[in-house]
Amino acid sequence: MRAGRERKTNLGSAATDDREGLAAKMRAQGYHFVGGHSATKICAYAARAIKGGGTCYKHQFYGLRSWRCVQSTPALNCNLSCAFCWRTIPEEEGFGRNALSPRGGWDSPAEIAEGLIEEHRRIVTGYKGNARTDMGRLAESNDPAHVALSLTGEPLFYPKISGLLDEFHRRRMSTFLVTNGTMVKALEVMTTMPTQLYVSVQAPNAELYARTVRLKGVGATWANFIRFLEAFSELGTRRAFRLTLVKELNMVDAKGYARLIEMGKPNYVEVKGFVFVGGSRNPKRGLEFDQMPKKGEILDFAGEIARESGYALVDYHESSNVALLCKDEKSEKNRILKFQK
């Protein structure tokens, strides 16, 4: 497999055609590999912001500066195959589902943190020649202030996740980690928490959960998801639910979502409309363009969840089609984070 200029890439192996083929496909989609099991890819909003354009919903909701954010993952494999996911699901493309699992052990937190930042800087250097580039933002993008561990895969598969968070925090970077809610034991042994911890809430009940996440891995059960939410509710960090809603699939039962909110006690709930892009367009998923909710539908459903849960609907990001619910006045007052750099 071509190593290119990426830092310490050892994903390839002559004995593993699946690994080589999937990595090549992902490179063509803009992924940049780091070490044995990590990757980064510039977010569309980061690229837009560097060119002087609009920013992401995290900027509007929480103050994160899109052009200073490293979108990444320390683990490329996932134990779910969510129907709405825009990412490539290996087995749908003819590859083994664990094709990009680590080979030869896990990289150290310091190697991953440094490698992701270095690769991010290499990526944004390419914007120097763009006539629309905001040079001030480009300069700041070379000194990233945030990392989103949400690119692909399940980051809690990485067994040294607390050490990785420590590495980013030592660099005075805020951390946003998104988990799919299956790795209860990994959550329970974490000694460092991200600045904001997300859990994807894919459905309001067991039957729809199975249809939506299309279970395929160990721990991927409704009962385990409920145990995860119970543990999640007791964590001493900012907590958020992320709902990705698909019409005629999981955009039903606001009361069911409200019950999960009561269980997990998140500070914030993001109610987002599914987008028919990337992997979600694969015919094997069975989804259609018309299943994307419109703005009014998202706001109406978010309003229903707010009424059922007692949360407040406080904001909406137009281009992402996502509404924000806050737990209480304190969460609303403190939602714009005060970053260190």
pLDDT for residue 98: 84
Domains annotated for the chain, with CATH where assigned, are 17-333 (3.20.20.70)
Check: CB of residue 179 under 8 Å from CB of residue 190: no
The DSSP symbol for 96 reads -
Check: CB of residue 281 under 8 Å from CB of residue 291: no
Q: Is 281 left (phi over 0), alpha (psi -120 to 50) or beta?
A: alpha
* Phi, psi (rounded to 5 degrees) for 263: -75, -45
Residues whose CB is less than 8 angstroms from the CB of residue 285 and which lie 6 or more positions away in sequence, other chains included? 83, 92, 279
pLDDT for residue 341: 80
Check: CB of residue 124 under 8 Å from CB of residue 140: no
- Tokens 């989103």 correspond to what residue? 148
Q: Residue 286, class by beta-carbon neighbours within 10 Å (0-12 exposed, 13-18 middle, 19+ buried)?
A: exposed
Strands (DSSP E) along the chain, which ranges?
32-34, 38-40, 69-73, 146-149, 174-179, 196-200, 238-245, 268-273, 312-317, 322-326
CA distance 81 to 138: 35
Residues whose CB is less than 8 angstroms from the CB of residue 1 and which lie 6 or more positions away in sequence, other chains included? 9, 11, 12, 13, 19, 20, 23, 24
Max distance between CA atoms of the chain, in angstroms, equals 57
Axis-axis angle for helices 295-309, 254-264 (nearest 10): 50
- The single-letter code of the amino acid at 144 is P
First to last CA, the chain: 38
Tokens of residue 197, six digits: 């911890």
Tokens of residue 168, six digits: 């980013």
pTM of the model: 0.94
pLDDT (tens, 9 = 90+) of the chain, 341 residues, equals 334 345 445 554 433 578 899 999 999 999 999 999 999 999 999 999 999 999 999 999 999 999 999 999 999 999 999 999 999 899 888 898 888 988 889 999 999 999 999 999 999 999 999 999 999 999 999 999 999 999 999 999 999 999 999 999 999 999 999 999 999 999 999 999 999 999 999 999 999 999 999 977 666 799 999 999 999 999 999 999 999 999 999 999 999 999 999 999 999 999 999 999 999 999 989 999 999 999 999 999 999 999 999 999 999 999 999 999 999 999 999 999 988 78
pLDDT for residue 14: 35
CA distance 107 to 123: 22
The DSSP symbol for 200 reads E
Query: Nearest 10 degrees: CA dihedral of 192, 194, 195, 196?
Result: -140
pLDDT for residue 218: 64
Per DSSP, the three-state class of 207 is: helix
Residue from 265, 249, 250 nearest 203 by CA: 250
State how far Cα 286 lies from the chain centre: 23
CA distance 45 to 50: 8
State how far Cα 76 lies from the chain centre: 12
- Tokens 């990485």 correspond to what residue? 158
